[in-house]
Amino acid sequence: MTVGALWTATMSFIKEIYDSQGFVIVPNLVSTDDLEKLRTACDTVVGRTRNGHWPHRRVVGKQFPPFDSDNPDSWGVQHLMHPDLGPPASVFAKWYSSDTLVGAAKELLQCEDKDMQMELFNLLINPESHKFALRWHRDDVKGDATEDEERKALAAWNGGVQWNSALYEDSCLYIVPGSHLKTRTDEQRKHSNTMDPPANPLDMPGAIRVTLQPGETVFYNSNILHCATYDHECKRATLHATIGDARKGAGRARNILQHGLTWMQEERFRDQLDERGKAMLDRLLLLQQTTRDVGYSLDN
Ligand SMILES: O=C(O)CCC(=O)C(=O)O
Ligand SMILES: [Fe+2]
């Protein structure tokens, strides 16, 4: 078998697992060379976030945006490709539009290059001095949704892929395999229809803990039931990003644009991207433009 044929076989295998289980772990999307460059870039932006010089962060105590609390301890750094981050932003942007990563996203979305839409690119980190946890949730379905609302939301969900790429060993994420296809059982609802973080995430029926080795990536349907626990004593630097299928139009707007991506309209951002990155950006700018024109509401 040639390398090309092996890649194609592996890729169709990941699609099958991703569709049926709602997640798939792929080992080889960060090269050894990139691993070092990305770790160095992360150290810089994490330092800047912790010393208060980067305002776009996810703060301990808050699960979703807006992250407007005064708590200085952070569990995430937002907008890794933002030109105000200087040289690290270019390292992140180069990897985001790399052949291997975009190749996997195209396979999972069954898309071509012309459909790839630039979206979110953030970093998940260990807080410096607090333990923190995210409660069980689906990213785009409310915890108190009725069974009928949940069924409709799961059926409607489509058009993007989300992933975590670990630069250090990472065991923070818990998921319920297959739950992207099913409404919750009564017992699962009890564990996810609450604002409280789980005492033990494995109390959730069907839950497993995901462990990634450095350089491994988990792609997951963001409507799979998931939660996460953060340990301030264990170093975490995990790239957390999404790519969309531009053919889905406004369907992705609420999930993506609530994170505040207007800075992507700046020419100096565009200038730091390669040709594929620029084309992906154009599709996001079009989404911003069309959702603004129709007055799309982001607060529901
Ligand atoms: O920390 C993680 O791996 C999960 C983050 C997450 O679920 C979220 O940001 O909605
Ligand atoms: Fe989530």
The alpha carbon of 222 and the centre of ligand 2 are apart by a number of angstroms equal to 6
Question: Using alpha carbons only, what angle is made at residue 57 by residues 53 and 58, rounded to the nearest 5 degrees?
Answer: 150
Look at ligand 1, atom 3, and give the residue with the nearest C-alpha: 173
The alpha carbon of 85 and the centre of ligand 1 are apart by a number of angstroms equal to 22
Task: Return the SS3 of 232.
Answer: coil
The alpha carbon of 117 and the centre of ligand 1 are apart by a number of angstroms equal to 21
Cα torsion through 263, 268, 270, 275, rounded to 10: -160
State the closest ligand 1 atom to the C-alpha of 227, by its place in the atom list counted from 1. 7
pLDDT class of 1 with cuts at 50, 70, 90? low
Token readout for 172 is: 């923070």
Ligand in closest contact with the CA of 75: 1
Q: What's the pLDDT tens digit per position in 98-145?
A: 999 999 999 999 999 999 999 999 999 999 998 999 999 999 899 999
The answer on pLDDT for 62 being more than 90 is no
The alpha carbon of 173 and the centre of ligand 1 are apart by a number of angstroms equal to 7
Look at ligand 1, atom 1, and give the residue with the nearest C-alpha: 228
Pocket residue to mutate for ligand 1, from 59, 67, 78, 124, most atoms within 8 A of Cβ? 124
277-282: list long-range contacts, CB under 8 Å, 24+ apart.
Answer: 277/93, 277/96, 277/97, 277/118, 279/113, 279/114, 279/116, 280/97, 280/116, 280/117, 280/118, 280/243, 281/118
- In this structure, the residues whose C-beta lies within 6 A of any atom of ligand 1 are 124, 134, 139, 164, 172-173, 226, 228
| In contact, 250 and 296? CB cutoff 8 Å | yes
pLDDT class of 293 with cuts at 50, 70, 90? low
pLDDT of 195: 85
Could you please state the CATH topology (level 3) that the domain comprising 3-293 is classified under: Jelly Rolls (2.60.120)
What are the structural domain ranges in the chain? 3-293
Ligand in closest contact with the CA of 124: 1
Between residues 62 and 233, the one the model is more confident about = 233
The alpha carbon of 267 and the centre of ligand 2 are apart by a number of angstroms equal to 31
Look at ligand 1, atom 7, and give the residue with the nearest C-alpha: 227
Pocket residue to mutate for ligand 1, from 78, 240, 255, most atoms within 8 A of Cβ? 240
Residue 297 CA, distance from chain mean position: 22
pLDDT of 296: 44
The alpha carbon of 50 and the centre of ligand 2 are apart by a number of angstroms equal to 22
Which among 113, 140, 276 has a CA at the least distance from the CA of 220? 140
Ligand in closest contact with the CA of 240: 1
- Tell me the percentage of the chain whose pLDDT exceeds 70: 92
Q: What's the pLDDT tens digit per position in 201-231?
A: 999 999 999 999 999 999 999 999 999 999 9
- Please, what is the average pLDDT of the chain? 91
